[in-house]
Every structure is written in structure tokens, then in C-alpha cells.
Amino acid sequence: MTLLWILEDDEKLCDLLAGLCADVGWMLTPYTTPRGLEQALKTSTPDLLLLDQMLPVKSGVDVLSSLRNQGFSFPVLMLSALGAPSDRIAGLEAGADDYMSKPFLFRELQLRIEGLLRKTEAIPSLGQARNGAYQLGPVRFDPQRLELVGSSGSPVAISRGDAALLLALCQRPGQTLNRERLAWATGSLVDPSRSRTIDMRLSRLRRQLIAVGDGTDLVECLRGEGYQLRVAAVPLSEPA
């Protein structure tokens, strides 16, 4: 059974979503405080987390940033009454895999969740080149562990969505991938012709690669065409 968690202080909404999720075969466990979620994560993890942005003690963005810094890589769908572009960008930059504004239809939420779960299942099966890791110039990328390692030797966790984007580029060396191809690779249900989600994700990913590496931008944006790697993606035959 698919295990979903939700961090949301609106208990009525949690109860409603729990019932609707049960109807489609999912088990939704509610948490109303960040502390409750943190305690639960000591013994288990969900298949996907629904995360409210406007929490009374700690914002959803802060909660998500903390989770990603601790290395938790399960997909996160952020829910918020704040729907401005700047709010969506903040959520995506913090590591959200998708973002939905309230109010929403459950059917759309269901489709978004299904898309993220498909993407999660697909990532381990992609890039079966030896151990699945790649050397990208000064940066080692491990899609299985969801991490980047630079010259410092310290791994930096990345989200499953960002790993899917980078892996798609690694698997097609020398090719320019347009936004539609990249959206398909990540399992996104957002129409790339009407959303800048892919561009925002690539912008964040490029900054991460620059910070982890030697300051070189490893991904090139070709205006009107798409994105491609600037360096060779060398499969690694032995775990680093």
C-alpha cells in the first residue's frame, strides 16, 4: 500500500484527504506539527509527503529545507494558499517536487501524486550504467544515492526531481533536451508550455553544481532549444 504523510495544521482537511486517499488505495497519515513529523521520521519514511506552506510555528519552506539538508529525498508536494510565482519559486528552490495552490480539486491532487510516485519508481531503473554514477567534470553524480560530490569529498543531497533532470541529461550526452523532454523525464504533469517549473528546477540544479564543483556551470541553456551538459558524463565502473 502507498504510504502518504501530510503535515498540515487544518485537521478537518487532513480528515477529508485521508478519506479520499483511502478510496483510491492510499494510506494517509496526518501530522499537525513539524515536531510530530520529525519524531515519526526517526523510525520511518513516507512514499510521499504533502506539506503545507503556512504552518503556525515553522514555515513549510523551512521544514522542507531542513529535510533536504538531513538527506531525506522522498518526494514532497507542497500545498499552499500562497500561489504567487515568488511563493512557488521559494517552494521549488527549497526542494519541493511539485507545488499546488489551495483550494484544489482532489482529482488534480491525485494525478500530481501519481506522477510523482511514477517518477520515484523510475529513477532507480534509469542510468543502469555500471553502478549508475557519473563523473561530470569536477562533480560526481550518484542518482541512486541522490547526491553530488565535489572536490571537498562531502556529499550534497539533491531531490529526486533534480536527480531525474540531471540523469536525463547524462543519458543523452551531446544532445539538447527541450523542456517537454525534461518534463517527461521527471514525470511532471505540469504543462511546460504554460509553466516555468522546469526552468526553475534547472536554475537551481545549475547553482548546486556550481557550488559543489569548481565554479564552472556544467549545464548549458540554449535559448529556444533547451538544455545540455557542457562536459562529458563519464559512467563510473566502481563505487567512489
For the chain, give every residue range classified as CATH 1.10.10.10: 126-235
Outline where the chain has alpha helix (H).
11-23, 34-40, 60-69, 85-94, 106-122, 160-170, 179-186, 197-212
Q: Which residue has the cell 510565482?
A: 85
pLDDT along the chain (240 residues), means of 10: 93 95 95 94 92 90 86 86 80 86 93 86 45 87 90 86 86 83 67 70 90 92 89 74
* CATH class of segment(s) 126-235: mainly alpha
pLDDT at 164: 82
Beta bridge partners of 100: 79
Fold classification of 2-123 (topology level)? Rossmann fold (3.40.50)
pLDDT at 130: 39
Q: How far apart are CA 201 and CA 219, in angstroms?
A: 12
For the chain, give every residue range classified as CATH 3.40.50.2300: 2-123
Q: How far apart are CA 219 and CA 18, in angstroms?
A: 41
pLDDT at 159: 81
Q: What's the distance, CA 106 to chain centroid?
A: 21
Q: How far apart are CA 25 and CA 39, in angstroms?
A: 25
